Amino acid sequence: MSTAAERRTAVFAALRALLLERPWGDVTLEAVARDAGVSRQTLYNAFGSRYGLAQAYTVHLADALCALIAETLAAHADDPRTGLEEGLRLFLETAAEDPLIDRVRAGDAHHDLVRIVTTDAGPLLVRVAERLEAAARAAWPHREPASLPQLARTLARLALSYVTMPPEYDDSPAAIAAGLSEVLAPG
C-alpha cells in the first residue's frame, strides 16, 4: 500500500470484517495488521494501542455518518425537515449495521469501547457537532445562523445516545427519524 490514507482504509476495513466474525475481546492488533496487509508495528505507530485503533475507527465512522447527513441535507436544501428526516434515517440504519456499534449495544464490548462513546466522548461530540453545523450552514445558508450550533450539538448528542442505547420501543428508523425531524427541523 502506498499512502497512509490507503493503509488506514485497509485497517478499518479489516477491523470491521473481524468484528463481524468475533467479539472485540478476540480481535488482536496482529489479526487486524495481517488482514489489512500492514505490519503490527505500523498499527502501533499509527494508533498506539487497541484502544487507539478503536478511537480512530469511531472517528472514521462518525465522519462517514456526518458526510452522509451532509449529503442528505444538501440534497434537500429547500426542505429542511425532509433533509433532516432522511439524514437521521440514514444515520440510524447505517449505525445499526456497524459491528462495533453492535458490540457496544449488545453489551459485548470491552469497557474501553464503551468509554469511547460515553465518558471519553467529549472530543467526538465536538467533532460531530462541528461537522453537522457546517453541513447545516452549507445546506441552509438563509437560516438563522445563531440557532445552528445548538441544533448541531443536540443532534450530536442524540446520535451518540442512539449509538450507545437503541430506542426502547419498536419503531423503525424511518419512524424515529420522522418524529425527531418534526421536533428539531429548523422552520
Q: Which pLDDT score is estimated for 85?
A: 92
Which pLDDT does position 187 carry in this prediction?
65
Phi, psi values for residue 22, rounded to 5°: -150, 165
Q: Which residue has the cell 489489512?
A: 36
pLDDT along the chain (187 residues), means of 10: 85 92 88 95 93 91 92 94 92 84 75 81 93 94 86 90 76 84 80
Measured between alpha carbons, how far is residue 44 from residues 11, 41, 50 in Å? Answer: 12, 5, 9
Question: How many other CB atoms are there within 10 angstroms of residue 48's CB atom?
Answer: 12
Q: CA 84 → CA 59, 134, 172, distances in Å? A: 21, 14, 16
User: Are both 20 and 55 inside the same structural domain?
Assistant: no
- Same-domain status, 31 and 96: no
Is there a single domain that holds both residue 43 and residue 55?
no
Amino acid identity at 66 = C
State the pLDDT at residue 74: 95
My answer on whether 68 and 91 are in the same domain is yes
Range of the domain at 118: 51-184
- For the chain, the residue count is 187
Total domains in the chain come to: 2
Task: Give the pLDDT of residue 26.
Answer: 87
Contact 134, 73 (CB under 8 A): no
